[in-house]
Amino acid sequence: MNKLKIAGIGAAVAVLTLQASANKPAQATQDEVILHAWSWHLDTIANNMKKIAEAGFDMVQTSPVQACFVGDGGGPALFSKPGDSIQGKWYYYYQPTDWTIGNYMLGSREDFKAMCDSAYKYGVRVLVDVLPNHTAIDHTAVLPGLDNAVGGHENLFHANGFKPIRNYNDRMECTTGQMGGLPDVNTENPDFQYYYLQYVNDLINLGARGFRYDTAKHIGLPSDPLDPKAERNNFWDIATGREGVKGLSLLMPDSLYIYGEVLQDKNTKETEYAEYMDMTASSYGHFLRKALESGNAKEAGLENWYHPVDPSRLVTWVESHDTYCNAHESAGLSDEQIRAAWVFLSARANGRPLFFSRPEGSTRENYWGTNRIGHRGNDEFFNPYVVLSNKLRHAVAGQPETIYYSDNGSVGEVCRGNEAAVLVNFSQKDQKVKMPVTLPDGKYTAPVSGEVFTVKNGTVSGKLAPLGTYTLSVKPIE
């Protein structure tokens, strides 16, 4: 059996308060969980806010809400193919035509305000997916207000902005070139920074309390090469409130939770990005999925975070909308597999776990399900095991973690102090275990399943069903 001890949680960090007028940030510990309400209409999120809160989620992340490219005739499909009766593509909202609130896919500015009001009522914080790095592939669709704000269309893009990236580890190409056909915005242009910051501040005034920065690693850091049109790589100083631009500064910078999609690679500069924001732990998600595919958590090394920065600065996931949608890297995993890994992930002491809401009606044969933008995702976000794991995370906040594996590696165990232990069977076979545990001696009945485990002399014994998850706690979890 492998035994690994990980340091406990450090000091609390400043995060978000729910009132736009507030100037004193709330304090948070490493017990928060995020629901990614992917492709849900803003009204749909608002109407389900009570359920989101009751499921133990502290934050809800929206898809991009800025003006966007109207493709496939403005159809409502998540992903259509030629000949389908209903057309549409989810990724059109990742193709900005202006930085103003509201688009045809997810809702209006008024819908956004109503959603934030609902979030405030139920104590949930709103994170908005923002993407200043590029415009729509069809850059002629950019609206006149944006062009005028930056002094003309030609000033909107980097000098290299229409040159495709061929080497993503070349920082000049990565931060100034065209990614996937998307023209690269000159994020160092002060006129653009000012215009974009007005959009962000408008979101904050309406109730947003944080942001996920899409393609963050494609926006330059101070140490990166300069585009010929740029004088300084200072976008992140502006976006995180360290500097103002043309007399305008980020509102409430100490009360916002900001993280970036910084997908890991050979030359990603994670430690420098960490000076500005938290970031995604993309490699850890990869190894979680490997554990599910192989049925072996020990072999995947799930005690590691596979990231050079402190794990308290990470947003973690089992899967993201990109791993599900783009190459369907994770879409073949069953809901039960995703759920098992989520329970393990959320039991850990660090990171902020993000739960991706898969499409309504989706199956392993039909990844798009009912195939409608705006609909609520499937029921997994309030599955009893997901809710239990979210609530356990809150209950054991601040407790150090110890990780054990069964002899064959199929079962991973996360102990939180001497208060709770979570056992997860990553395999699709029954497992009978005797493993070390930090719980006091006694018999423990796992909620939901009702399975009984015995703890004696620092060893827990019991049976685990395929992909079964079992939460053992000294105190009731509420």
Residues catalogued as catalytic = 214, 261
Nearest to 119 by CA among 252, 257, 18, 35: 18
What the block records as the tokens of 247 is 């007399």
Integer CA distances (angstroms), 221 to 27, 175, 218, 245, 292, in order: 28, 9, 9, 17, 36
379: Cβ–Cβ under 8 A, 6 or more apart, which residues?
none
Report the C-alpha gap between 67 and 166 in whole angstroms.
29
Nearest to 410 by CA among 322, 261, 300: 300
Report the C-alpha gap between 257 and 235 in whole angstroms.
17
| Helix, strand, or coil (residue 384) | helix
Question: What would the DSSP string read from start to end of 77-122?
Answer: -SB--TT-SS--BGGGGGSEEEEEE-BTTTB-HHHHHHHHHHHHHT
Cβ burial, residue 98 (10 Å; 0-12/13-18/19+): buried
Decide: 433 and 449 in contact? Cβ < 8 Å: no
11 φ/ψ angles, rounded to the nearest 5 degrees: -65, 150
Decide: 69 and 396 in contact? Cβ < 8 Å: no
Q: Which residue has the tokens 């719980």?
A: 439
Plot region of 187 (φ>0 → left; ψ -120 to 50 → alpha; else → beta): alpha
Angle ∠(184,77,319) on CA atoms, nearest 5: 65
Report the C-alpha gap between 216 and 238 in whole angstroms.
14
Report the C-alpha gap between 256 and 208 in whole angstroms.
8
